């Protein structure tokens, strides 16, 4: 935050900061296990993010694939981890 404040002060003298928001995002690779029996997870919880780009597209794909597999699992009456692993493969 200090680097950003210095940069803004140097580039935009006279500008005022209205608000600051800070937080963390996962920086490791996507977790290898994203499902269990009757359970699947998408998004930051399974590290579907990219520290350089924040990974908006990865999370969207993760959510899309999770939903597609969940719909098929419910329609076929099989929400076992074995079936849900299709999501991990996607």
Ligand X SMILES: Cc1cc2nc3c(=O)[nH]c(=O)nc-3n(C[C@H](O)[C@H](O)[C@H](O)COP(=O)(O)OP(=O)(O)OC[C@H]3O[C@@H](n4cnc5c(N)ncnc54)[C@H](O)[C@@H]3O)c2cc1C
Positions that interact with ligand X (CB under 6 A): 21-23, 25, 43-45, 49, 54, 56, 59
- The SS3 assignment for 3 reads helix
Quick one: angle between helices 56-76 and 81-89, nearest 10?
Answer: 150
Q: How far is the CB of 59 from ligand X (least distance, A)?
A: 6
How far apart are CB 76 and ligand X at their closest, in Å?
Answer: 26
Shortest Å distance, C-beta 55 to ligand X = 6
Q: Which is nearer to ligand X, 13 or 23 (CB)?
A: 23
Neighbour count for residue 78 (Cβ, 10 Å): 11
């Amino acid at each position: 935050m200090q680097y950003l404040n210095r940069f803004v002060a140097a580039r935009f003298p006279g500008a005022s900061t209205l608000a600051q928001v800070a937080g963390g995002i996962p920086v490791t690779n996507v977790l290898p296990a994203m499902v269990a029996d009757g359970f699947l997870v998408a998004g930051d919880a399974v590290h579907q993010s990219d520290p350089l780009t924040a990974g908006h597209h990865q999370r969207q794909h993760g959510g899309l694939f999770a939903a597609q597999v969940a719909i098929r699992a419910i329609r076929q009456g099989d929400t076992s981890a074995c079936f849900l692993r299709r999501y991990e493969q996607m």
